[in-house]
Amino acid sequence: MFRRLLVAAAVLAGVTGALAQSDPIAERQQLMKDMSQAAKAPGAIMKGEAPFDLAKVQASLATFANVAKKAPTLFPDNSKTGHDTEALPKIWTDKADFNAKWEKFGKDAASAQASITDEANFKANFPGVAKNCGACHETYRAKKS
Ligand code: HEC
């Protein structure tokens, strides 16, 4: 019985894994939306529209670090078109630089996770992390507005 359950779980895990892989454009767009959602709380604190909340700031940084780890695998060669993608062709001609940008973003998020403990170091450190969004979009994302 237990073995059968294990086998069923393994099969299910394989299926969800395959589904995730089959639609990398939708998956990366969803992760980006998650990040922009996660950026709202720290953004409001930064503007003085909400009180400092360390738990929210840390949750946001954890989302960034997580996405930075997953994102580089979601730009395979067969995902240049479809789903109204805003990904620019330069991603695939400059893949090493594109991946380096993800790595820098992930490192900045991780070091902010370690260093942000109060409002003062939040204000000093968060903008540097958030700059990575625009720095990458400028080169690798077509803005449709
Ligand atoms: C290393 C590059 C890179 C970094 C860093 C990055 N993005 Fe993106 N982002 C992209 C690319 C490429 C797209 C286009 C994806 C597509 O449409 O296939 C995108 C798309 C988006 C979108 C549109 C998603 C949609 O389809 O609705 C949002 C919102 C977004 N990013 C927010 C963010 C935020 C917020 C951050 C920082 C916290 C961030 N991104 C960091 C590369 C990056």
pLDDT digits (tens, 9 = 90+) for 67-77: 999 999 999 99
For the Cβ of 25 lying below 6 angstroms from any atom of ligand 1, the answer is yes
**Residue nearest to ligand 1 atom 31, measured at CA:** 32
Task: Give the model's confidence band at 103: pLDDT under 50 very low, under 70 low, under 90 confident, else very high.
Answer: very high
What is the percentage of the chain residues whose pLDDT exceeds 90?
83
Instruction: For residue 143, name the pLDDT band (cuts at 50, 70, 90).
Output: confident
Q: Which atom of ligand 1 is nearest to the CA of 25?
A: 18
- Token pair of 100 as six digits: 């380096």
How many angstroms separate the CA atoms of 41 and 58, rounded? 10
Of the candidates 2, 25, 5, the one whose C-alpha atom is nearest the C-alpha of residue 13 is: 5
The answer, yes or no, to whether residue 144 has pLDDT greater than 90, is: no
Alpha carbons 144 and 84: distance in angstroms, whole number: 10
Atom of ligand 1 nearest to the CA of 75: 18
Which pair of tokens denotes residue 133?
Answer: 């969004």
